[in-house]
Amino acid sequence: MIIVGGGLAGLRTAETLRAQGYAGGLTLVGAEPHAPYDRPPLSKAVLRGETDDTTVAADFDALDCATLLGRRATGLGEELETTEGPLAFDGLVIATGATPIRLPGDGPQHVLRTIDDARALRAALRPGARLVIVGAGWIGAEVATAAAAAGCRVTVAEAADAPLAGAVGAEAGTRTARWYAEAGVELRHGVKAASVEAGGLELAGGGSIEADLVLTGVGVRPETGWLEGSGLALENGVVVDEGLRTSRPGVFAVGDCAAWWSARFGRRLRVEHWDVALNAPDVVAANLLGGERTYDAVPYFWSEQFGRMVQYAGHHPAADTTVWREDPEADRWSLCWLSGERLVAILTVDRPRDLVQGRRLIASGAAVDAGRLADPQIPVKATVRG
């Protein structure tokens, strides 16, 4: 068995294969020189200088797993092609993750995906430094939080009319806009970036924003270019079925690069969150060993920004109605998305109990009473009809 990808999804696949009784040869191929590490802390604890290492504890000797780090996959035919020659396999798991989108231009441009990215950005976050962040998404908000705390002069340039508009919609994103001002961060809406040049950010249609450094946080693309010509179905990731199988027998995909079919939401999903990388490998390992398991977990994500805990579960594009749960005495709220009477997604700000209960209701598919759901004094779990 060969696992391509040295991140959390790759490591968890190796661990679950052994835990489920696989005793044959096992190899993990990773493009980075680092052992598998957690990515969520990169934009949080690492940028804040609280830690410099997020390596996941793993004993590869005990796993009897060969690790080929610093070795990139370059193609897939009868064998796995790599930068250091081909590797034969009986079973293959693709867990190559995603790559940040970069803007055109010759100016210095930071992205945040790897531990090396985080360390380089942290070193540049000096008091008084002018930082422009392109994109007010999850990464943009978290970097703005850390940079403002470090004393940087931060401007966030967002093409949409509200932060997080692409992630959770403008209705919810608008509620977060004042957090930027409270933190001393300038938020500029409707600003479309064109390129990164030596003096800062050039804007589409003319104009610029001067900066000492630019962080581009406008999303990622699945790392699947090396699979062109392999015969695998590729569409916004590696296309897999409910069991995370590709169109080629014995080849699976998991993590950020896998576009899996969700019966729960009736559509194909590609979820770039830590929770998927942690738990989906259980299904991959079982099915590699002849099982018939399916993966259809409720997607979950969290973000720490401007002193708040923001959590999300579900898939809101499947919804047709929204319901707010607001605490009039505090800056805490939840937004629920419904499809008919079924809860399909929930976004919470400092309301962790709503998130936990809402996630369970999404998983159960139970019908809820929208009127009761709108009352923040009624527990989410108590809104189930009947």
Shortest CA distance to 281 belongs to which of 95, 97, 99?
95
pLDDT of residue 328: 60
pLDDT of residue 178: 94
Q: Is residue 129 part of a domain?
A: yes
Across 190-289, where does the E strand assignment appear?
Answer: 193-197, 200-203, 208-210, 213-216, 220-222, 238-240, 251-253, 258-262, 267-269
Q: Is residue 297 part of a domain?
A: no
Amino acid at the residue 236: N
Residues 209 and 226 in one domain: no
Distance CA 84, CA 86 (A): 7
Residues 130 and 227 in one domain: no
Give the pLDDT confidence of 313-362 residue by residue, as tens digits: 999 999 999 999 987 667 899 999 999 999 999 999 999 999 999 999 99
pLDDT of residue 25: 97
Shortest CA distance to 289 belongs to which of 9, 4, 18, 77?
18
Residues 118 and 191 in one domain: yes
Residues 268 and 311 in one domain: no
Boundary residue ending a domain (194, 216, 238): 216
Q: What percent of the chain has pLDDT over 70?
A: 99
pLDDT at 43 over 90: yes
Distance CA 162, CA 178 (A): 10
pLDDT of residue 329: 64
Residues 51 and 188 in one domain: no
Residues 333 and 351 in one domain: yes
Q: Is residue 301 part of a domain?
A: no
Residues 94 and 109 in one domain: no
Q: Is residue 331 part of a domain?
A: yes
Residues 263 and 124 in one domain: no
Q: How many residues in total does the chain contain? A: 386
Shortest CA distance to 344 belongs to which of 374, 324, 322?
322
Q: CB–CB of 163/141 below 8 Å?
A: yes
Boundary residue ending a domain (216, 239, 261): 216
Can you say how many angstroms the Cα of residue 262 is from the centroid of all Cα atoms in its chain?
Answer: 18
Q: Assign residue 336 the CATH number of its domain.
A: 3.30.390.30
Distance CA 369, CA 360 (A): 16
Give the pLDDT confidence of 123-144 residue by residue, as tens digits: 999 999 999 999 999 999 999 9
Is the model more confident about 255 or about 205?
255
Question: What's the mean pLDDT when you consider all of the chain?
Answer: 96
Q: CB–CB of 268/261 below 8 Å?
A: yes
Q: Is residue 47 part of a domain?
A: yes
Identify the bridge partners of residue 66 per DSSP, sorted by sequence position. 27
Shortest CA distance to 144 belongs to which of 161, 167, 166, 121?
121
CA distances from 95 to 8, 28, 62, 254, 295 (A): 9, 10, 22, 5, 16
Residues 209 and 114 in one domain: yes
Q: CB–CB of 102/216 below 8 Å?
A: yes
Distance CA 89, CA 376 (A): 54
The string of DSSP codes covering 313-326 is EE-GGG-SEEEEEE
State which residues form the domain around 178: 102-216
H-state helical runs in 195-316: 274-288
pLDDT of residue 130: 98
CA distances from 382 to 341, 369, 373 (A): 14, 9, 8
How do the residues of the chain divide into helix, strand and coil, expressed in percent and rounded to 5?
A: 25, 30, 45
Across 307-365, where does the E strand assignment appear?
Answer: 308-314, 321-327, 332-339, 342-349
Q: CB–CB of 301/352 below 8 Å?
A: no
Distance CA 75, CA 214 (A): 33
**What total of structural domains would you count in the chain?**
3
SS3 384: strand
Q: Is residue 259 part of a domain?
A: yes
Give the pLDDT confidence of 73-129 residue by residue, as tens digits: 999 999 999 999 999 999 999 999 999 999 999 999 999 999 999 999 999 999 999
SS3 76: strand
Tokens matching residue 231: 């015969």
Give the pLDDT confidence of 188-209 residue by residue, as tens digits: 999 999 999 999 999 998 999 9
Residues 118 and 212 in one domain: yes
Q: Assign residue 139 the CATH number of its domain.
A: 3.50.50.60
Q: Write b or e for each residue in 137-154: b if 16 or more Cβ atoms lie within 10 A of its Cβ, otherwise e.
A: bbbbbbbbbbbbbbebbb
Neighbours of 269 (CB within 10 A): 18
Residues 114 and 197 in one domain: yes
Identify the bridge partners of residue 301 per DSSP, sorted by sequence position. 312
Q: Is residue 168 part of a domain?
A: yes
Q: CB–CB of 35/58 below 8 Å?
A: yes
- The pTM of this model reads 0.95
Q: Cα(first)–Cα(last) distance of the chain, in Å?
A: 49
Shortest CA distance to 192 belongs to which of 161, 147, 237?
161
Residues 78 and 106 in one domain: no
Q: Is residue 298 part of a domain?
A: no
